[in-house]
Amino acid sequence: MMNKISAVFGSHVFSDQDMRERLPKAVYKSLRATIDKGEPLDVSIADSVAAAMKEWAMELGATHYTHWFQPLTETTAEKHDSFVSTVGDGGVILQFTGKELIKAEPDASSFPSGGLRETCSARGYTAWDCTSPAFVKNTAEGTCILCIPAAFTSYTGESLDYKTPLLRSMDAINKEALKALKMFGNTTATKVTASVGPEQEYFLIDKDKFAQRTDLKMCGRTLFGSMPPKGQELDDQYFGAIKDKIAEYMTELNEELWKFGILAKTQHNEVAPAQHELAPIFSTTNVATDQNHLVMATMKKVAAKHNLECLLYEKPFAGVNGSGKHNNWSISTDDGENLIDPGKEPEKNLQFQFFLAAVLAAVDNNAELLRLSASSAGNDHRLGANEAPPAIISAYLGEQLEDIVNQIIEKGEATSSLKGKKYVSGASTLPTFTMDATDRNRTSPFAFTGNKFEFRMVGSTQSIAFPMMVLNTIVADQLKKMTEELEKADDFEAAVKKMVRELLTEHQRIIFNGNGYSDEWVAEAERRGLPNIKCMVDAVPYLATDKNVSIFEGLGVMNKAELQARADVMLENYGKKINIEALTMIEMANEEIIPAVMSYQAELAKGASEIKALGIEPTVQVSLLNTISEKLSELKQATVALEELVAKAADYEEDVQKWAKYYHDVVFVAFDAVRKPADELEKELPKGAWPFPTYEQLLFEQ
Ligand code: ADP
Ligand code: MG
């Protein structure tokens, strides 16, 4: 096993070792300075890097290259160019120049821009991101391509992607955190990096059954389906033994990911039937984002080979837990110090207390932004819909840190800290060990987990670039405010202590260690004045408020136009998704469910009259026929009503906010009326008569 890993690990990424071996020393040094220290990229080295990359990629079989980028959609984009060029005399050469490595010009007009770019001025550029390693992948069509992670901007320099603002936010937190560290007397750190380990949840179902579900194919989630007799109530799936077929899938998935240098730290069954999770080893917020895209794409690709379908949607099944992507976030220095690590004596660690206060203040001051950053049509089914986690932003600290915070608030400083107790089982054969100082909490949207914060709101399909960009930015902004104030202080230590105490006192309201799913918490949060934004459409307008524009512009992360563009893209996307769901629902009702029910009705009626001809009263048949007819007409009426509501959406097209709101408040709400009679009919029809696989078949028969 170990041999296997070391043979393939990172084989398909242009790694540090590949660079060291293949690049001239000076080129390697210069490139590393950009990657490690954030120094401006020296474009004169590009030819040399391109030649080495091409040679390396061709050894793996690559014939094409592409700038691999992240437009404002949910997936990555690529346009393959061949290494082959023609030369004057009609011959061909294989080439890949520095110019081609650094910059490409895809036609930008087909990507969402939120009005940043008129269709008539289609120019957009992709630019090489040397901080995320290039890699080679095989496409489904069999092409082997060198992929160069890239940023995507318009002709006028505005970002049209998720990567550019993320990189800018990493610069911002680096700058502000370094400034703070210098004040604490740190003379060795030269860079602070924000890191994340995104835990990815997903469902695996049978591919053939998936293919029979129009809703899963069109929308990624089921729009119909009644719960089977067994759901997740027995709690037997979570961490349960992994089925052979799934184990084989996971093995191949791991091997494919190793090639990209991605190592799964843990993998296990999740709470819901057919649900699983993969947690990779963490990396910088930029590299982890790219890797997470590769994880999602590889999950789907490998599933197909095992006759499985991987569902990444946030809520594929009603009544069954949905999928999220827990983002484990921390900031650390290039000399190895994790600034979120309390250490053995957090009561004495003023620097840690300073960063803790900064994170809590940032989260409280910008709860709307964080909430927004995890919003999508799919995630609306989770956040605030009585599922993990609630839509209210709060932070869980655990007993140890909460105690420290309380001491600071009460006395101005902490003098002691709770330590982990000894584990005593009572059985002589079991080992004893020191337990963690803090228990876990599973319902908090923003939980401290030892030496990192876990932002749990993010949806499973979502790119983590946006939420990580927001988190980096708001913490950078808070650090900036704090260091600016401290610069004026005569007695640094006294000023920090005072500041930490004030901030913790002011933002203590965000700390909540209880059950985040309970109704009491909703009421309590309201008393504390914490925002509770119910849905994505209501969250989006916070993106470009004056307050937020000034935060993003102040740190050079995004300007007002870029923010507004993202807000528009989100709303547009929301309306489109609900529209697709509505049309799919109508199609399934009219073309699949209603005809199937009518056939069964006809069969029942025929049987009833045959029985009656024998002189027997067909009471069961007649009663069933009555029930079915009633529900069938309810279904037909609701479907017609939904069609009318969808048609009316055109009236709101002028204003994207109103249009999206209409889809949320009116169209989406009308889904229930269609679904209810359909799901009831499913229960009345015999097994095999329903036109597509049921929840029972999808969830329990892989
Ligand atoms: P836990 O035991 O708290 O669940 P794990 O060790 O299982 O944590 O890791 C969960 C995820 O968090 C993994 O993706 C891991 O790589 C990531 N992670 C661990 N430490 C850090 C850190 N300091 N910064 C960012 N992510 C981290
Ligand atoms: Mg989890």
Using DSSP, state whether 120 is helix, strand or coil: coil
The string of pLDDT tens digits covering residues 506-517 is 999 999 988 888
Looking at the CA of residue 326, tell me the nearest atom of ligand 1. Answer: 11
Looking at the CA of residue 279, tell me the nearest atom of ligand 1. Answer: 14
Contact 366, 373 (CB under 8 A): no
pLDDT at 236: 58
How many of the other CB atoms lie within 10 Å of CB of 251?
Answer: 12
Q: Is the C-beta atom of 460 inside 6 A of ligand 1?
A: no
Q: Is the C-beta atom of 448 inside 6 A of ligand 1?
A: no
Q: Is the C-beta atom of 197 inside 6 A of ligand 1?
A: yes
pLDDT at 25: 96
The string of pLDDT tens digits covering residues 687-700 is 899 999 999 999 98
Looking at the CA of residue 195, tell me the nearest atom of ligand 1. Answer: 25
Among 155, 157, 101, 130, which residue's Cα sits nearest to residue 40? 130
Cα three-residue angle 296-302-305, rounded to 5 degrees: 150
Q: Whose CA is nearest to atom 14 of ligand 1?
A: 197
Q: Is the C-beta atom of 548 inside 6 A of ligand 1?
A: no
Instruction: Show the 3-state SS of 88-117.
Output: CCCCEEECCCHHHHHEECCEHHHCCCCCCC
pLDDT at 172: 98
Q: Which two tokens stand for residue 544?
A: 């470009």
Q: Is the C-beta atom of 534 inside 6 A of ligand 1?
A: no
Ordered alpha helix ranges (H), 532-685: 536-539, 546-554, 560-588, 594-613, 619-648, 656-662, 669-684
Round to whole Å and give the CA distance between 10 and 310. Answer: 24
pLDDT at 208: 97
- Inform me whether the pLDDT recorded for 234 exceeds 60: no
Probe ligand 1: pick from 328, 329, 475, max atoms within 8 Å of CB? Answer: 328
Q: Is the C-beta atom of 282 inside 6 A of ligand 1?
A: yes
- Please compute the mean of the pLDDT values over residues 252-272 and round it to a whole number: 86
- Inform me whether the pLDDT recorded for 134 exceeds 80: yes
Q: Is the C-beta atom of 266 inside 6 A of ligand 1?
A: yes
Q: Is the C-beta atom of 196 inside 6 A of ligand 1?
A: yes
- Inform me whether the pLDDT recorded for 78 exceeds 60: yes
Q: Which two tokens stand for residue 15?
A: 């790694």
Q: Sign of the C-alpha dihedral, residues 479, 549, 112, 373?
A: positive
Q: Say which range, 154-158, 257-261, 319-323, has the weakest mean pLDDT.
A: 154-158
Whose atoms come closest to the Cα of 275: which ligand?
2
Q: Is the C-beta atom of 451 inside 6 A of ligand 1?
A: yes
Round to whole Å and give the CA distance between 456 and 389. Answer: 7
Round to whole Å and give the CA distance between 93 and 101. Answer: 17
What percentage of the chain exceeds 90 in pLDDT?
A: 77
Round to whole Å and give the CA distance between 328 and 350. Answer: 23
- Please compute the mean of the pLDDT values over residues 395-424 and round it to a whole number: 89
Q: Is the C-beta atom of 267 inside 6 A of ligand 1?
A: no
pLDDT at 24: 96
Among 487, 596, 466, which residue's Cα sits nearest to residue 543? 466
Whose atoms come closest to the Cα of 454: which ligand?
1
Q: Is the C-beta atom of 386 inside 6 A of ligand 1?
A: no
The string of pLDDT tens digits covering residues 486-495 is 999 999 999 9
- Inform me whether the pLDDT recorded for 349 exceeds 70: yes
How many of the other CB atoms lie within 10 Å of CB of 141?
Answer: 6
Q: Is the C-beta atom of 441 inside 6 A of ligand 1?
A: no
- Inform me whether the pLDDT recorded for 206 exceeds 80: yes
Whose atoms come closest to the Cα of 328: which ligand?
1
* Banded pLDDT at 89 (limits 50, 70, 90): confident
Rounded distance from Cα 197 to ligand 1 centre (Å): 6
Give the CA radius of gyration of the chain. 28
Tally of residues, the chain: 702
- Inform me whether the pLDDT recorded for 95 exceeds 90: no
For tokens 């102040």, name the residue: 554
Looking at the CA of residue 281, tell me the nearest atom of ligand 1. Answer: 16
How many of the other CB atoms lie within 10 Å of CB of 523?
Answer: 10
Looking at the CA of residue 332, tell me the nearest atom of ligand 1. Answer: 23
pLDDT at 515: 83
Whose atoms come closest to the Cα of 456: which ligand?
2
pLDDT at 273: 80
Whose atoms come closest to the Cα of 197: which ligand?
1
More confident call, 119 vs 400? 400
- Inform me whether the pLDDT recorded for 573 exceeds 70: yes
Q: Which two tokens stand for residue 322?
A: 């949905």
Q: Whose CA is nearest to atom 3 of ligand 1?
A: 449
What integer best gives the mean pLDDT of the chain? Answer: 92
Tell me which amino acid residue 464 is: I
- Please compute the mean of the pLDDT values over residues 250-279 and round it to a whole number: 87
Round to whole Å and give the CA distance between 78 and 647. Answer: 35
pLDDT at 553: 98
Probe ligand 1: pick from 268, 282, 455, max atoms within 8 Å of CB? Answer: 282
* Banded pLDDT at 274 (limits 50, 70, 90): confident
- Please compute the mean of the pLDDT values over residues 157-162 and round it to a whole number: 91
Q: Is the C-beta atom of 452 inside 6 A of ligand 1?
A: yes
Probe ligand 1: pick from 325, 452, 458, 471, max atoms within 8 Å of CB? Answer: 452
pTM across the whole model: 0.94
Among 4, 294, 305, 1, which residue's Cα sits nearest to residue 136? 294
Q: Sign of the C-alpha dihedral, residues 567, 571, 572, 576?
A: positive
| 446-448 and 395-396 strand pairing | parallel
Q: Is the C-beta atom of 280 inside 6 A of ligand 1?
A: yes
* Banded pLDDT at 235 (limits 50, 70, 90): low
Q: Whose CA is nearest to atom 13 of ligand 1?
A: 197
Q: Is the C-beta atom of 338 inside 6 A of ligand 1?
A: yes
Q: Whose CA is nearest to atom 6 of ligand 1?
A: 265
pLDDT at 126: 93
pLDDT at 170: 97
- Please compute the mean of the pLDDT values over residues 673-701 and round it to a whole number: 95
Using DSSP, state whether 416 is helix, strand or coil: coil
- Inform me whether the pLDDT recorded for 120 exceeds 50: no
Q: Which two tokens stand for residue 651?
A: 């009236």
pLDDT at 675: 98
pLDDT at 21: 96
Q: Is the C-beta atom of 265 inside 6 A of ligand 1?
A: yes
Q: Is the C-beta atom of 337 inside 6 A of ligand 1?
A: no
pLDDT at 437: 66
Q: Is the C-beta atom of 195 inside 6 A of ligand 1?
A: yes
Q: Say which range, 142-156, 166-180, 489-503, has the weakest mean pLDDT.
A: 142-156
Looking at the CA of residue 450, tell me the nearest atom of ligand 1. Answer: 3
- Inform me whether the pLDDT recorded for 443 exceeds 90: no
Rounded distance from Cα 246 to ligand 1 centre (Å): 24
Among 493, 494, 496, 474, which residue's Cα sits nearest to residue 483? 496
- Inform me whether the pLDDT recorded for 123 exceeds 90: no
Q: Which two tokens stand for residue 124?
A: 């957009």
Query: What φ, ψ does residue 406 adopt, rounded to 5°?
Result: -60, -40
Round to whole Å and give the CA distance between 56 and 58. Answer: 6
Round to whole Å and give the CA distance between 159 and 154. Answer: 6
Q: Is the C-beta atom of 327 inside 6 A of ligand 1?
A: no
pLDDT at 136: 97
Q: What stretch of H or E contains 670?
A: helix 669-684
What is the Cα 56 distance to its own chain's centre?
Answer: 32
Looking at the CA of residue 282, tell me the nearest atom of ligand 1. Answer: 16
Q: Whose CA is nearest to atom 4 of ligand 1?
A: 449
Whose atoms come closest to the Cα of 270: which ligand?
2
Among 606, 588, 593, 591, which residue's Cα sits nearest to residue 684? 593
pLDDT at 181: 98
Q: Sign of the C-alpha dihedral, residues 17, 18, 20, 26?
A: negative
Rounded distance from Cα 68 to ligand 1 centre (Å): 27
